[in-house]
Amino acid sequence: MRTGIQIEVTTGDRKRLEAIVAARGSPQKHVWRARIILLTEQGEGTQAIMTATGKSKTCVWRWQERFMAEGVDGLLRDKTRPPGIAPLDTTLIDKVVALTLEPPAQEATHWTVRAMAKAVGIAASTVVKIWHDHGLAPHRWRSFKLSNDKAFAEKLHDVVGLYVSPPAHAIVLSVDEKSQIQALDRTQPGLPLKRGRGATMTHDYKRNGTTTLFAALNVLDGSVIGRNMQRHRHELPRVLWRRFLSDLSG
């Protein structure tokens, strides 16, 4: 431990230090800083000063060095520390927000963190912060579909009933489209991405020039039974589905 340090204190500085210690209105941090210097001048070692002031040795050394460099005024001033992270430029923030609200130029459905960071030339963490601060979530979509089926309520009741109270000896068949197939034109226009709200789109899309592929797996032998059916205007998807089931049963 460092011991025997000597500090020369002028008469004027000593009076100021003693006045700081004696004054009732002096902040406590100024009092113990002044006491460190007065005890040092009296020849007290670091251990004795630590005991008298209740401060660590690094704290004692710091204020001894501050006094030697800046005098009494240095004891009364707290050094300001720069913020750990510099504030983002408002122009940069506006650019990221504006680009996020527009579809990306490349062949992608929405902006990703990496794509935005590369396009603007900033860190991915900065993009995440800007999106979070402005309530933007390009990867989130809210699916909706307004049914015009008059029997929609009854059908919904039947589907929910299968889960709430499933009947005995019943077979339930569920059909879904291939999720990896890119949906191009939706049947209804969706709402664009906005701050605090994700973009919206219908769950189905226009089937212009498309075909319907049905497939079933035979779990007994591992074979796949598939049918490729062209859809005509007068045929609904459920008609094709029933036709495929008939082929399986036959």
Tokens of 16: 């100021």
Mean pLDDT of the chain: 79
The dihedral region occupied by 166, where left means phi > 0, alpha psi between -120 and 50, and beta the remainder, is beta
DSSP state of 197: B
**Helix, strand or coil, per DSSP, at residue 37:** helix
Neighbours of 53 (CB within 10 A): 17
Q: Give residue 201's Cα distance to chain centre.
A: 23
Highest mean pLDDT among 70-79, 164-173, 214-223: 70-79
**Helix, strand or coil, per DSSP, at residue 202:** strand
State the pLDDT at residue 37: 93
Contact between 77 and 84 under an 8 Å Cβ cutoff? The reply is no
State the pLDDT at residue 1: 46
Query: Is residue 183 scored above 60 in pLDDT?
Result: no
Tokens of 91: 């122009």
| Higher pLDDT among residues 223 and 181, named by residue | 223
Query: Is residue 184 scored above 70 in pLDDT?
Result: no
Query: Is residue 208 scored above 70 in pLDDT?
Result: no
Residue type, 53: T
| Higher pLDDT among residues 49 and 156, named by residue | 49
Name the nearest CA neighbour of 3 among 75, 68, 64, 72.
Answer: 64
Contacts of residue 244, Cβ cutoff 8 Å, sequence gap at least 6: 214, 216, 227, 229
Segment among 69-83, 84-98, 124-138, 168-182 with least mean pLDDT: 168-182
Using one digit for the tens of pLDDT, what is the confidence trace for 107-157?
777 888 999 999 999 999 999 989 888 888 887 766 656 677 778 778 888
Contacts of residue 138, Cβ cutoff 8 Å, sequence gap at least 6: 100, 110, 111, 112, 131, 193, 199
Continuous segment of H or E residues that includes residue 45:
none
Total-model pTM: 0.35
The mean pLDDT of 32-57, rounded to a whole number, is: 91
Segment among 81-90, 159-168, 175-184, 214-223 with least mean pLDDT: 175-184
**Torsion sign, CA atoms 127, 129, 133, 139:** positive
d(CA 16, CA 80): 24
Q: Give residue 158's Cα distance to chain centre.
A: 40
Residue type, 67: F
d(CA 85, CA 120): 19
